[in-house]
Structure 1
Amino acid sequence: MSAPGDVAELGARLEKRLTEIAGTDVTVEHLRRLTAGASRETWSFTAAGAAGRRDLVLRRDPPGADRPDGMALEAASIAAAAGAGVRVPPLVDSGTDPATVGSPYLVTAHVAGETLGPRILREERYATARDGLAAELGRTLARIHAIPLDAVPGLPHADPVEELRTTYDSLDEPLPTVEIALRWLDRHRPAPVADALVHGDFRLGNLIVDESGLAAVLDWELVHRGDPREDLGWLCVKCWRFGSPLPVAGLGTVDELLDGYAEVAGERPDEEAVRWWQVHRTTWWALACREMAQRHLSGVTPSVELAAIGRRVAENEHDLLLLLGHPAHEDAAAESPPSDLYGRPSAPDLVDAVTAFLREDVMASDDERLAYLARVAANVLGGVGRELRLGPEHERRHRARLASLGYGDQAGLAAAIRAGEIDDTDPALLAVVRAAVTDRLAVANPRYLTLPG
């Protein structure tokens, strides 16, 4: 949470910059940090000046974690998208000099509507918007992919599988599920198509929806050059359906999405290629969750939110296994009895008490971000309590499963899969990996096991 002094300083910097742009005094009111954005800060405020009052949004890198090239690409992409008829927030200002507002930034006009996926999917006021939205998202992606590549110079490009492997190796946390996914992706690469400008994070959460439909596309920080079907696959990844059984962002069918795309693009993307990208981006998201957690673990950006995201790796491992045809089979573990050495309340009892305090007292705060972080912290403690209760039995059977394959730890098993010493399609291997992921998810987020796949 930002200290009052930090907010005042940021407000003063924004006033100075906006005054320079307007040529007349501008004051900043109601500056507050929003809950959105684990990788970048998002702030809302009102700018008041001679021309009137205007609601604006600031996105900036966390101070000290500057990515000036990325912010410049994001600003250029928003401008190019606007020129191509894509609905985006009007760009007001951008810059990479940290002296302006503390780090590279961009400022856009506020666009009214909703970004939270569960609200878009469930609230009655968005019922009209939901009808036909999957097709509209397809049409929007076709417009994005038609943006000329030279309209945004410097777009990064990489081999999709090798980029995953490089990221995975840099984390130094071997995961058998990821090794299996990487081998599957390498074997099943789709036929190539012409490169396009790829948004990179097109999903609920980065889209503003109002009661009539799509209002704006946000968050262009992952824009790059590549296979346009990547955006389509990412929109179908299970975690962004928020519990809905519908495969496209919880909103509609793949046919609706691809038919909408074809209306603008003139051709229908190959459905199997889109599914390949769904597997790819599920793997990518697993690694991205672990990367964000590393920012906390390394001390670069201490954050309960980033720490919590690290435990979401298990959700993505589960989704990968579902995509590859390996559903979960729950095998409930016996809870460990509390130690008589420490007495009651036991460690799980204390965790439960703090969790209840966060949910019942802190989450009731009028401070929106504090309430959000309290919910994150309560969810984290819920997982800690489950690990205290179930962890010893989970650990015992995890070791037994590994031993049944002749390995002493997960790292050894992952290395064997990579080296081809064990067939990544071997049913015995897949059963061991599937059981381990199920146990991890039973601690991290047991409700996720019940969501439609």
Structure 2
Amino acid sequence: MAAQAEAVPADASARLLDPAGPEGRAVLEAVLSEALGGSVAIAEVLALSGGASSATWRLSATVGGDLCTFIFQRAATGAGRGVPRRVQAEVMRRAAALGVPVPPVVAVPDTASGLGDCAITAFVEGEALAPRWLRLPGYAAAREALTAQCAEALARLHAAPLEHWADLPLGGGSGAEQLDTLFASYRRIGVDVPAFDLAFAWLRPRMPETAATCLVHGDFRSGNFLVDAHGLAAVLDWEITHRSVPAEDLAWLCVQAWRFGQWERPVGGFGEREALVAAYRAAGGRIEPELLRVWEVFGNLRWGMSCLQLADDHVSGRVPSVERAAIGRRVSEVAADLTYLLAFGDL
């Protein structure tokens, strides 16, 4: 899978500066001043919900007399499994140059800053909470446009040759290799889930052994988009980007969990698979539709393994977290989804 960052000790937060505290603000002001080439004064630091792997703050600052807004994000305590923020930032810069909508990277603080594994981006207007933009009437036009917009963004990302990313420490591999890595994690955790056993056995002879052909986002799905009234405003959360094949990203977008209750719309809760494939091809992408089901089974299993890993983090005491424990309880949902998908071929 993706390149692994060094593990963050459980007490790492004790050594990290609080961005809302006076010392943290001073360091952030210095970092932004250097990046922007002028004096910066931070007026407000507001903590936002950041998920299980990230901690996020919104910064309101005066820059050359103008009020600007930035997003400061760093690895959550104990996360330590994703691509380092400095690498993510470089991937985002290069993805932006390819035409993928991403928040503009403003600065990547040095590791000696005391701010941790972090990055600062410009603030992009939009709704991040998928249950809101998937249901509210004000986003109806956005939902209609999203399938084609997502397909185009992925086609642009996948079109870049692997040489475009060759100097970056990113992992990945063939589908068969990724399945082996996932199975090793399953055995390490040591919890038996019959539906997972069945999915691993079903995937074993079907996962492609062909080498990776492109960079994939790795977590391209509802919940990791900023959506405005016109559709896709920005693609967020690049922490598990890695080398793979296009089908992985397209199938991940179809995983049941990312429909947020809009189960009748398999593409992220807003679109249809056939329309996604057609739009991806129209944007210049190449895809074998028959591989989508294989990668969709893998995607559902991968999400189930993420739930199992988060539960293990909490139960083991490695990263005590109510949020991780709550997500871990969703293993049973994924088991049901996998059973249905393998029995009937569709979700």
Band the TM-score falls in, shorter-chain normalisation: 0.7 to 0.9
SS of 1:131's equivalent in the other structure is: helix
Contact map agreement 2:222 2:258 (CA 8 A) in 1: yes
For residues 105 and 275 of structure 1, what CA distance do their matches in structure 2 show?
36
Higher Rg of the two aligned structures: 1
Query: Which of 157, 174, 177 is equivalent to 1:144?
Result: 157
- Give 1:43's aligned residue: 57
Contact map agreement 2:83 2:239 (CA 8 A) in 1: no
- CA 1:171–1:233 in structure 2 vs 1: closer, same or farther (change >3 Å)? same
After TM superposition, give the deviation of residue 69 of structure 1 in Å. Answer: 5.3
SS of 1:205's equivalent in the other structure is: coil
Query: Which of 87, 99, 108 is equivalent to 2:101?
Result: 87
For residues 189 and 53 of structure 2, what CA distance do their matches in structure 1 show?
17
For residues 208 and 314 of structure 2, what CA distance do their matches in structure 1 show?
36
Identical positions, percent? 40
- CA 1:250–1:68 in structure 2 vs 1: closer, same or farther (change >3 Å)? closer
Query: Which of 34, 42, 60 is equivalent to 1:28?
Result: 42
After TM superposition, give the deviation of residue 275 of structure 1 in Å. Answer: 1.2
- CA 1:67–1:95 in structure 2 vs 1: closer, same or farther (change >3 Å)? farther
For residues 313 and 40 of structure 2, what CA distance do their matches in structure 1 show?
36
After TM superposition, give the deviation of residue 190 of structure 1 in Å. Answer: 4.4
Query: Which of 87, 98, 116 is equivalent to 1:103?
Result: 116
Contact map agreement 1:64 1:103 (CA 8 A) in 2: no
1:15-66 Cα distance to aligned partner (Å, 9 max, x none)? 2322333444322232122113211111111121325221111110125655
- Give 2:31's aligned residue: 17
For residues 107 and 82 of structure 2, what CA distance do their matches in structure 1 show?
14
For residues 145 and 209 of structure 2, what CA distance do their matches in structure 1 show?
30
- CA 1:61–1:20 in structure 2 vs 1: closer, same or farther (change >3 Å)? same
- Give 2:89's aligned residue: 75
Query: Which of 308, 313, 323 is equivalent to 1:305?
Result: 323
- CA 1:151–1:96 in structure 2 vs 1: closer, same or farther (change >3 Å)? farther
- Give 1:318's aligned residue: 336
CA RMSD after TM alignment: 2.4
Contact map agreement 1:201 1:231 (CA 8 A) in 2: yes
For residues 229 and 166 of structure 1, what CA distance do their matches in structure 2 show?
23
SS of 2:56's equivalent in the other structure is: strand
After TM superposition, give the deviation of residue 259 of structure 1 in Å. Answer: 0.6
- CA 1:68–1:289 in structure 2 vs 1: closer, same or farther (change >3 Å)? closer
After TM superposition, give the deviation of residue 246 of structure 1 in Å. Answer: 0.8
- Give 2:311's aligned residue: 293
Letter matched to residue 134 of structure 1: T
After TM superposition, give the deviation of residue 132 of structure 1 in Å. Answer: 3.0
Runs of 5+ consecutive residues of structure 1 not aligned to the other structure: 328-451
For residues 277 and 55 of structure 1, what CA distance do their matches in structure 2 show?
38
Letter matched to residue 137 of structure 1: C
For residues 81 and 251 of structure 2, what CA distance do their matches in structure 1 show?
26
Query: Which of 254, 257, 266 is equivalent to 2:276?
Result: 257
- Give 2:4's aligned residue: none
For residues 264 and 326 of structure 1, what CA distance do their matches in structure 2 show?
31
Larger RCO (CA under 8 A, 6+ residues apart): 2
For residues 314 and 41 of structure 2, what CA distance do their matches in structure 1 show?
35
1:131 maps to 2:176: no
Letter matched to residue 170 of structure 2: L
Q: Residues 48-447 of structure 1: matches in 2 within 5 Å? A: 48-50=62-64, 52-63=66-77, 66=80, 70-95=84-109, 97=111, 99-152=112-165, 153-158=168-173, 159-190=177-208, 192=210, 195-244=213-262, 245-267=264-286, 269-325=287-343
Higher helix share: 1
For residues 65 and 252 of structure 1, what CA distance do their matches in structure 2 show?
32
For residues 295 and 33 of structure 1, what CA distance do their matches in structure 2 show?
24
Q: So what's the TM-score if we normalise by structure 1?
A: 0.67
Letter matched to residue 230 of structure 1: E
1:159-204 Cα distance to aligned partner (Å, 9 max, x none)? 1210111121221212222111111001222474751101000001
For residues 141 and 82 of structure 2, what CA distance do their matches in structure 1 show?
40
Instruction: State the aligned residue count.
Output: 325
Contact map agreement 2:161 2:213 (CA 8 A) in 1: no
For residues 36 and 143 of structure 2, what CA distance do their matches in structure 1 show?
39
Letter matched to residue 186 of structure 1: R
Runs of 5+ consecutive residues of structure 2 not aligned to the other structure: 1-12
- Give 2:8's aligned residue: none
For residues 69 and 130 of structure 1, what CA distance do their matches in structure 2 show?
30
